[in-house]
Amino acid sequence: MKRNRLSTYIVGFDRTIFLSYLALCLAGLVVMVDITSVQSSMAYFYRHLVFLGISATAAIFILYFFDLPKLRFTNTWLVYLAIVMLVWVLVKGSTIKGATRQIDFGLFSFQPSFFARIALVFFYANVLDKKQQLLRDTKNILHFPRSFPELTLLTAIVFALILVEKHLSAIIIGGMTLLGMLFYAGIRKRILLIILGLGLVSGLLIITKGDSFRMQRMKTYKKYSLFFPERDLSDSGDADYQVRESLTALTSGGFLGTGMARGRAKHYYLPEARTDYVFTIIGEETGYLGAMLVFLLHSTLFFASLKMANNQTDNYLKFLAAGMAMNIYCNVLVNTGVAMSILPPTGNTLPFISYGGSALLMDSIAVGVILNISAQRRVL
């Protein structure tokens, strides 16, 4: 049925997805109050509240007023816009802690890399819908760039610009999302494994031949990760501080935690407590039980979205919903993996929980798109 918002209206949407999103946003508010109440001031909480209000409004607006099939023509242009913004941030962006990632607008700042990830999902869904059979028929990795020249070129440009910004975690999450969407669309497993291998080799080269701080992070990871049983902690120093404090806080939390407002890490022992390591604060104060509950909410949102996507008859909407869900969930896996030292240290937020306007807005837009696709409509 052709969907036209002038002749149809929404009578329902996936409640599981909506309630998971709502619960995560409320949990984020509670955690932000807990952290900011013992740090400099409550200003970060009030700003987070404003960010959440804007982000939730954007999600609801997309749910009720966007006709996604009619907007397909904008998908490639969104990527072009992302490229312009990524170039702009390199020319006019603000440099914080050695990384140039955001554009400062005075009252607020914006990180284009978050927008780029969302733009790529729209673009991938469009390409995979149009060329799904070609994707399934591709048997040689050398034929992939010729079969998908625009996808290959635009992805390479976006990832290269983000790499110059020193935002490797955005590339990792974007790459994981792309691999997930290719798998979902039916690419041959052998081709997928080759692309994965090329990605891992590229990542290894970036770490070993790029900026020295990345190699230092890998050394820290080898010291504290359970995947390296013969680790030497005798020379632990300032470079290991963040990872060491994160693991200490998680361990001290135990099964039930120290109790809300009773944690130690947020008292400036753990840098980036309200952003990159917010999962550590949850684990310390609410224990394994609370941390798993938050992870379960993220997982519920993901699998409910994937189930809904599977029920779509329009392949474009199917790939779009699945891609948006993967983009959020891959972010969750990376953030929680870093907090527990399952993955090497890298900076990224926990969706709907961490402080950060750009991430919260883009993740909420992704949820708005998913809810829009899930909506049941009735003809007037």
Q: Tell me: pLDDT of 312 over 70.
A: yes
Looking at the domain assignment, is residue 179 inside a domain? yes
Q: Within a domain: residue 3?
A: no
Give the span between the Cα atoms of 54 and 61, in whole angstroms: 10
User: Cβ(364)–Cβ(353) under 8 Å?
Assistant: no
User: What are the DSSP E strand ranges found in 88-192?
Assistant: 94-96, 99-104, 109-110
* Distance (Å) of CA 149 to CA 127, 163, 209, 270: 11, 21, 28, 45
Residue 248 in any domain: the answer is yes
Comparing CA positions, the residue from 116, 126, 134, 113 lying closest to residue 181 is 126
Give residue-wise pLDDT tens across range 313-338: 999 999 999 999 999 999 999 999 98
Residue 46 lies in a domain: yes
Instruction: Evaluate whether residue 220 is within a structural domain.
Output: yes
The pTM assigned to this predicted structure is 0.91
Which helix (H) or strand (E) element contains residue 347? none
Residue 270: its pLDDT value, please?
Answer: 77
Q: What is the pLDDT of residues 34-43, one digit of tens each?
A: 888 776 667 8
- Residue 39 has a pLDDT of 61
Dump pLDDT digits (tens) for 105-159.
Answer: 777 778 999 999 999 999 999 999 999 999 999 888 989 999 999 999 999 999 9
Domain span holding position 195 = 8-379
Given this model, what pLDDT does residue 315 score?
A: 95
Question: Considering the domain boundaries, does residue 1 fall inside one?
Answer: no
Residue 375 within a domain: yes
How many structural domains does the chain have?
A: 1
Q: Which helix (H) or strand (E) holds 376?
A: strand 376-379
Residue 2 lies in a domain: no
Q: State the alpha helices, DSSP H only, in 11-109.
A: 15-36, 43-65, 75-92
d(CA 29, CA 45): 8
Euclidean distance between CA atoms 112 and 165, whole angstroms: 10
pLDDT digits (tens, 9 = 90+) for 160-210: 999 988 888 899 999 999 999 999 999 999 999 999 999 999 988 887 776
Which has the higher per-residue pLDDT, 294 or 90? 294
| Chain centroid to CA 56 | 17
Residue-wise pLDDT for 252-307, tens only, equals: 888 888 888 787 777 767 777 778 888 988 998 899 999 999 999 999 999 999 99
